[in-house]
Amino acid sequence: MKAFKLILVFLILSSPLGIAAQSLSPKELATAKPWKLVQFNFGLGADNDHYNSMSFQHLMTMAKDPSEMQRDLVGFDEEVTTITAGAALYGNVGFAPLDPSTGQYRDDRELQFGIGFHSPKEAMVSYKNQGLDTSIVYCNLQSEITLETAYILKGRWGKKLQWYAGLGMNGGATFNNKMVLISGQYLEPGEHPSELDHAIQESYAAKSVLYSRVYVPYGLHYQVSSNWQLGFDFRTGVGAQFIQGEKADFIKKTGALVIGARYKI
């Protein structure tokens, strides 16, 4: 993946930005809006957040009543997961800026506004005692909705391939929040709690959480018709998680891999 990013950046820097655009007449230019809706963008894929740190204490700050989840953990070994991941659905609209000096709406720039829906992500801390053949797993599950904006540069390689790269950010709020406590037999390294047989699962109330992320969006699309493009979209960046009454938790890496479709108006 790192090699792909380096190759993509090199190709972007070495390729021309210009894409042909039709000039407006002087009369049209006098009444033209500074931005024009030019494209609808859609995407389905997976995203992830890699936290700088995760702990039992941090996980419990997400619970509305942490005392409900207190258990005797003496003699248990702790195992922490710092990465959360889930499926994501994206949609946004793209606007091209007007260049008064040329009388054209620029096809090599785009300002995007959109929304994202994210399936439940799971923050998890496990406690294990092999001698007792017992595991106790603490989880926080939360779905998220994000509002997003990005400014991108676009260019072409030949007639069919279009690349883009830019800078974006989003703000998110969670819903369907819950704490889950799972008790069962000893989990071997790499095993997920869903693999436990006859496990006992208890649910508790959890707080809503806010997120903020800054990222570099980039991708490559293929022109399949005069209006439609299909391809891959990527994101890489950083972020922060905000829990009411607690200090922000740093997300040292946030990313996404998306199958994208674009409809040009």
List the structure tokens of 65.
């009543």
pLDDT over 80 at 253, yes or no = yes
**Contact, 186 vs 234, CB < 8 A?**
no
Residues 207-224 have a mean pLDDT of 97
CA distances 260 to 42, 82, 123, 216, Å, are 6, 28, 27, 16
Cα angle 245, 249, 254 (rounded to 5 degrees) comes to 140
**Per-residue confidence band for 10, with pLDDT thresholds at 50, 70 and 90:** very low
Nearest CA among 115, 106, 187 for reference residue 146: 115
- Structural domains of the chain sorted by starting position, each given as residue range(s) with its CATH number in brackets: 40-264 (2.40.160)
List the structure tokens of 160.
């069919």
Residue 262 has, within 13 A of its CA and on its CB side, a CA count of 25
Q: What is the pLDDT of residues 147-159, one digit of tens each?
A: 999 999 999 998 8
Residues 195-202 have a mean pLDDT of 83
Average pLDDT, the chain: 88
Residues 206-223 have a mean pLDDT of 97
Residues 228-254 have a mean pLDDT of 94
Instruction: State the Cα–Cα distance between residues 24 and 217, nearest whole angstrom.
Output: 30
List the structure tokens of 240.
């922060």
Question: What's residue 31's pLDDT?
Answer: 61
Instruction: State the Cα–Cα distance between residues 165 and 181, nearest whole angstrom.
Output: 42
Residues 168-197 have a mean pLDDT of 89
Distance of CA 203 to the CA centre of its chain: 26
Instruction: State the Cα–Cα distance between residues 152 and 114, nearest whole angstrom.
Output: 14
Q: What is the pLDDT of residues 63-72, one digit of tens each?
A: 999 999 999 9
Q: Which residue type does 202 have?
A: E
Question: What's residue 26's pLDDT?
Answer: 61
Q: What is the pLDDT of residues 77-136, one digit of tens each?
A: 999 999 999 999 999 999 999 888 887 889 999 999 999 999 999 999 999 999 999 999
Question: What's residue 164's pLDDT?
Answer: 97
**Contact, 262 vs 251, CB < 8 A?**
no
Please tell me the least confidently modeled range out of 19-23, 72-76, 184-188, 196-200. Answer: 19-23
Please tell me the least confidently modeled range out of 20-34, 53-67, 98-112, 205-219. Answer: 20-34
Instruction: State the Cα–Cα distance between residues 101 and 51, nearest whole angstrom.
Output: 46
pLDDT over 60 at 177, yes or no = yes
Sequence-ordered list of residues with C-beta below 8 angstroms from that of 97, at least 6 positions apart, any chain: 34, 35, 105, 106, 109, 111
Distance of CA 174 to the CA centre of its chain: 13
